[in-house]
Structure 1
């Protein structure tokens, strides 16, 4: 009995249609789930205490107000995200804590490219030009990305303590603006600088929710976005600010614990990926140092250059796949 390959056509078509439908509707489902989680956070739990304290009509109207506020916040954040992506380089430099202008960045890139080109002229003009181009584009970008990640990580590490300070101040009867002024005065950078900007925005007449919304735009991490959502919902729909901020502090600390656990569990995979990704480059460099004529055919002939480019492309794809496998987004 011979196998008819046409029997696989219909199942494959059905699988492709199912995958297309999932790809189309999954973002909508995830957005709905995020909105529900944010609503639960803003209501302060599962809503049982609120149902005992108020009538079902008031709770329903508050839920509608919260849903409307969440939709407006999501639309506003999406618009600002698109606007920030169109700006490109300047927001990234500010988020990295650098006071550079884009012109300074591009001059540094040109200097690195020229230095890499001059250092690799011994491998041929074409290879030197390729190395200079890659170095000029990649090294400054990697440096800014490293500083940006470190700054955001430091901000995230101290942010739960900031929420606790705000909760204690609000419970003691102090206004939210005064609590943020305390954070701006007593915290360490980068939290102190960002909250000082929030206080300055309020001093010129900007509402507290707008000032916190600007903070979420300057520091585009999920923790600050949660704070902006809680403050905006409380200012529009009312409710217990201390309870919402207390729930937010609990959620943030739980996220930090989960991130630490995931980091510990994925440390071995990251180390293996780093060794596998760097091994061909290290071996090629050692062989070039000990026996230069052995690898000369790779960069002195057209076929060898094509092989190098193909190997670099496949290595880049492999590194990208391994990075996606061990990179957990929470």
Structure 2
């Protein structure tokens, strides 16, 4: 900051000095020549003592005037530099101090937005960055708490079974060990989901992109999950597109996304409800809509739906083994394949629709 201060003052003084020098040279060369010519025409003599004395007096007066004007300009320039520096350095110093506090973990720091347009942009950007860091920190803390909570539940179950076996409350029978194995598998599923989430968020997921028949993948997913819908008295149907949909995607990852969407629809749709998987083409994109008549999503929950560990119905999701990060993984996979995953719902009790879009191979080639 001190270097910047001296540079601004030096630049202001340099402008004043250069201006005075240019004026002095101009006055002494061009001005004196014009004055001498006019004087010669007026007096009608050449190289007279009077003409020389008057020319010397003119140059002396010009020099004194320029020195006085230069000094006044330097003083004004110094004052304006100080005022300008205060306006510039004060918000910059505040940003520097708050940046250090944010680096120390105080993410609630903000700076005042000055009236200057340029500095206002810098201050606004700084506040936005601080808010984003605060949100990331909140998500990190929440994620640690959620992971601990998710792992504590199966661990508590395993611990209870072990204590029961040691105390003789539970007999060492296959059913007891089966329950323990179920809890271990639940922990492993959570850990696998966390590992998958870290990979997709870091952009380290391995994709085998190729031309894929979307209808074939959707039909396979529907057939795979149909037994669950029958057990839950749900109606699951597939509405194919009017023409083949060949998309650019990884077939395994695409199936993973659809399994998650249809599986969630089954989980959150009461008995007797219906689930529809509808395929269509929109411009250069293929579209898959998973429409259910389930519990719906409130306007408050909708923007948070794809955040890590967020659940619309926590008790139901936990009882059925959901980790709360399936939708987060699905959206990142869609992004990695050049697509998008979104959700909409009229409200609670009115069902919901999840829409997956992917680039069409055929349409892209034609373009």
Shorter-chain TM band: under 0.3
TM-score by length of 2: 0.23
Greater RCO, CA 8 A, separation 6+: 1
TM-score by length of 1: 0.25
Flag the structure with higher strand content. Answer: 2
Flag the structure with higher helix content. Answer: 1
Structure with higher Rg: it is 2
